[in-house]
A and B are shown apart, each in its own frame.
Chain A
Amino acid sequence: MANIIKIRNISKEYNMGVEIVHALRDVSLDIDKNEHVAIMGPSGSGKSTLMNILGCLDTPTKGLYEFNGLNVSKMNDNELARIRNKEIGFVFQTFNLLSRSDALHNVELPLIYAGVSSGERKRRAKEALEQVGLGDRVTHKPNELSGGQRQRVAVARALVTRPSIILADEPTGNLDSKSGDDILNLFRELHEQGNTIIVVTHEKYVAEHSRRIISIKDGLVESDVEIENSRVPNGMREELTA
């Protein structure tokens, strides 16, 4: 069984001075290789905290987190940075590209921290940009690209290290519905190519594009269901029926 993520009874508490906030209480879940999962919940549900822990940006207060068999919950900052670099590709709601660098350098960035040589970096970054359909926008800076294009640069950046999972936090939140559908469609393709994708969202519509929906509420897993017929993005459906 190819278990990428194994979480057992994790809790996260924030000390807010006067009171302790329990963002997560005793959450357990497993995510396998090549799954397409949506983590869904309203704001304040603890889904962002879960996403930060899954993404190794943060560690749980209690409980066990194993990533590819490695105990992440006990790692120090630099070890976590290494896991983020090699194993996780992030896609953020606000794209989070470096505004002064062109698309190519943005995509190259994680490879720099992975110690890949310059020529190899350029080649792989270009390849990733072509994969998301931006082969002709390599030298454009983020402010010369549309929102959808920016998010595709971000997806290319997430793909370029060939990570174990792609973790997307509200990837369509800042996009119009057409561009949003494009991104969801891209995720679907990437999933079909064998990638493991985790999308964190509060939108039912977005969550329904995945194969499994984990609902979080008040720091607890409310439901965890497989979807037989996941939604096909609008644009796609027309293509399929045509």
Chain B
Amino acid sequence: MGKTVLIVDDSNTMRKIVSRALRQAGIDFSTILEAGDGQEALAVLSANDVDVVLSDINMPNMNGLEFLKAKAEDPAIKDIPVVMISTETGADIIDEAKSYGAKGAIKKPFTPELINDTLGALL
């Protein structure tokens, strides 16, 4: 049975690009869910069985770091792995994201191969 991924990004364009890259990477996701910010992502995670989350950092309303903190406080969803996918991949920011439970980081621009390598270790 295929797996479910949640893409969190305020840019509709980037959500489409990530979806396309996932297909090109050859990972067998049966369902691709989307959210436009951290608040929407928390709601999607609470209502669906999600195997992995790809989340932007710089978003309105609730950014990626705030999303990680809120998710870590909810026992029902805290163990779902999250990989940050962002233009913001400075060491300080990534260390902060990992302290909140992020499992890795992918820098934009990215390639399907990079996504495959990063997610392959988690799935």
Partners in one complex: no
